[in-house]
Chains A and B, each alone.
Chain A
Amino acid sequence: MIPIQAYPETNSNFRSSRRCISLLLGLTIILGFGFQIDAEDLVALKPKLPAAMFVGTPKDAPAGTSVGPASDKGKPPLMIPKDVKNIAPGKKITTNDTNSSPSVLVKLTDGDKEANDNAVVLLRKGTRWVQFDLGSTHEVFALVIWHAHDTPKVYHDVVVQTADDAEFTKNVHTLFNNDQDNSSGLGVGTDREYFETNEGKTIDAKGGKIRYIRLYSKGNTDSSLNEYTEVEIYGRPQK
């Protein structure tokens, strides 16, 4: 007689084998099915994109009108201490454009922010800077920069840095940098480009202790030249 226990054992082996076979079969089906899908049924989702519409000659827009709201529109105004004033007038201004003389650079702080030729200082193409020497360390809370705003344009590689020395080797800080691909070599910027408007661009200096300020740019969407109409620096002598 075959012991009863043997059967369950055999039966158990059988069932175990059956489970293994089922598992293998299942896996084979799943994998096979999966491979089959990978090989034949799955395709990259490629939605049909709308084609370009043919259009006629566009309007020839006259120069000098606006393209829309300024980039800073809607932002709350920058809050600064009550006793802070524009300290830029009379400060020493230099540039890396050898064509520009100090007598011309004075126009940057003469208070004339109008969009006319007389108010604008032209700097040659390439990455150009103008530098302000505040004479002594000041607490600076804000800078407002007007490039040329006679026509809608966007300046490239606008970078604002501060330092403790005129050569910009000591304690260099970046207040603003929209050179996102580092084409001016001052580091990768994270700020946005913006439209030039009559409102200028306000940059928060956060009350930093500052002696030297450099403003960089590298041409604009309209030309490769660099232009400045006015710069205001809001600060007070260090307490």
Chain B
Amino acid sequence: MSRALTLGLLVALATALALRCPQLGIRPAHNDEAVNAIKFQGLWEHGSYKYDPNEHHGPSLLYFTEAWGKLTGVPNFQHFDDARFRVVTVIFGLGLILLLPLVADGLGRNATICAAIFTAISPAMVFYSRYYIHEMLLVFFTFLALVAGWRYTRSHKIGWALLAGAAIGLMQATKETFVLTLAAISAAFVLNHIWMRRIEASDAPTKFKLNFTHLLAALAVWLVVAFILFSSFFTNASGPLDAVRTYLPWLHRAGGASPHIHPWNFYLSRLAWFHPDKGPVFSEALILLLAIIGLVVAFTRRGLVGVNANLVRFLAFYTLILTAIYSLLSYKTPWCLLSFWHGTILLAAVGAAALLQWVRPRTMKVAVGILLLTGAAQLAFQAWQAGIVYSADRRNPYVYAQTSPDILNLVAKLDTLARAHPQKYQMLVKVMSPESNYWPLPWYLRQFNNVGWWPEVPTDPFAPVMIVSTQFQAGFDEKKTHLMVGMFELRPQTFFELYVELDLWRDYLRAIKPNPSQP
């Protein structure tokens, strides 16, 4: 690696760390993060995990969290909190930068540095690096597969083929949508081949001979890795079969049977220009515009100095196809955009490098450089806004069905109530909400040992503490045995009432210190 490349990567890594690590626990856990955390509890405390083909994606996130917990010497589950879980996805987010030197001979030095910086500062990349869900792992393993594939084409060493196979196995064990990525990779490979043969009439592909032994070995590694993880390390025989069966419910959802149906431009509009009422503008248009230049470069070969045209064109096909697939599927959640957005970032890096190459004279080059740096600084500022300031705010384009910070007030109140109760955290708590719409409360009430969860109002609903969805209009305070001491927002339009037994509330009031500050 050249000194410039090393320096560029170090700056990118430092920036990535600065944007990803501060205040990792500031955003209340999303429903999906909490489900992952509680599922991980089963794995950590009892060694039990069983792949569910209907929901919650693959096992890799939980197993890598377990590895991270053991590596860092976490003594028990109580030491896991929101921030510690999110470190796992931060590591994979940083991994995207660390893999870049392996494709530097294909992208060229300048584009590799730009790719590292754009990955570090893209608000979407920063936001979802701080999100304990499967997406960042999927993007990392995808890039690992691409990088290993690229290295294999350069060296023909079986080790790279095996690594690519393992990476695909990990992709599969991360999220079912890996098939979309795989489809895009395959289609891009074929289209690139056709382009080289027909349009450019190049004989370059003939230089690359496919070694079927290596291919079979890679396939075997893929299957072995997937089998091991889906079978929960040989303890769940139905897991590998479920990994295939899973596509039936997912196809059903993709076809429209889901609350997450959105128009085709859902992702692109969030990335290009997002300006809701009373909110700041979020826009990654700079990356989009540079990616368009990157596409022009890929198909015209203009400005390709020290860059492998085949690799860039492959990336162009891959990104276009994957963007089209995700946009056309009606099932959309905003984190899914990461898969094609990473390809877009790589193309944008090529575009930025080419732009600097094209521009003449030197003064203009400096001006464009300053313009790009200013744009990058603005992106970094947006990333900070998205990750910290607006991390739980619906005016942030990447916030989706996010838990309201108000729920932490409920949790704090419950903690004080438990301390005031003679049985402390053994205190009986009853939670009632239609359609089990109470997540992430099971994660936040994990230290309470006596909590019941109901999707309806049970026959005997009364308990010292009851957390009841406002949809039930319960009125448990009508008999004067309990007080409704407050309403709390779990998510936009999802509210809970907190009912507390009269005597316990008196104890609570005695336990809390009187507010010394008079308004």
Contact = CB atoms under 8 A, between A and B. Distances in A.
Interface in B446-498: 450-455, 470-471, 473, 477, 483-489, 491-495
B401 interface: yes
B436 interface: yes
Contact of A52 (B276, B453, B473): B453
Contacts of B204: none
Interface stretch (B88-96, B296-304, B508-516): B508-516
A55 B437 contact: yes
B437 A58 contact: yes
B519 A96 contact: yes
A218 to B, nearest CB: 9
A117 interface: yes
A182 B487 contact: no
Nearest to B472: A68
A117 B492 contact: no
Nearest to B407: A221
Contact of A185 (B259, B333, B394, B518): B518
Nearest to A67: B493
B484 A221 contact: no
Interface string B393-415: 01000001100101000000100
Contact of A54 (B39, B413, B486): B39
B32 A57 contact: yes
Contact of B485 (A180, A195, A216): A180
B491 A58 contact: yes
B509 A58 contact: no
The size bracket of the interface on A is 35 or more
Contacts of B413: 181
A221 B32 contact: no
B259 A52 contact: no
B80 to A, nearest CB: 17
The A interface is mostly helix, strand or loop, or mixed, namely loop
A60 B519 contact: no
A61 interface: yes
A118 to B, nearest CB: 12
Contacts of B406: 221-222
Contacts of A27: none
Contact of B404 (A63, A216, A221): A221
Interface in B277-295: 277-278
Nearest to B485: A180
Contacts of B488: 154, 221
Contact of B512 (A96, A181, A184): A181
A195 B470 CA distance: 10
Contact of A222 (B404, B470, B512): B404
Interface in B40-99: 52, 55-56
Interface string A54-86: 111111110101011100000000000000000
A61 B494 CA distance: 9
B456 to A, nearest CB: 10
A154 B509 contact: no
A50 B437 CA distance: 14
A212 interface: no
The size bracket of the interface on B is 35 or more
A13 interface: no
Interface string A126-143: 111100000000000000
B515 A68 contact: no
Given A153-B489, A185-B515, A58 B451 contact: no
A18 interface: no
Contacts of B505: 180
A117 B493 CA distance: 20
B302 to A, nearest CB: 42
A207 B216 CA distance: 88
A186 B454 CA distance: 36
A188 interface: yes
A35 to B, nearest CB: 24
A52 B38 contact: yes
A192 B484 contact: yes
Given A59-B401, A65-B493, A52 B438 contact: yes
Interface of B: 31-32, 35, 38-39, 52, 55-56, 259-260, 276-278, 333, 394, 400-401, 404, 406, 413, 430, 435-439, 441-442, 450-455, 470-471, 473, 477, 483-489, 491-495, 505, 508-509, 512, 514-519
Given A67-B493, A154-B488, 15 more contacts: A52-B453, A53-B436, A54-B55, A58-B437, A60-B492, A63-B276, A67-B494, A67-B495, A68-B473, A180-B485, A181-B485, A181-B509, A182-B509, A192-B484, A222-B404
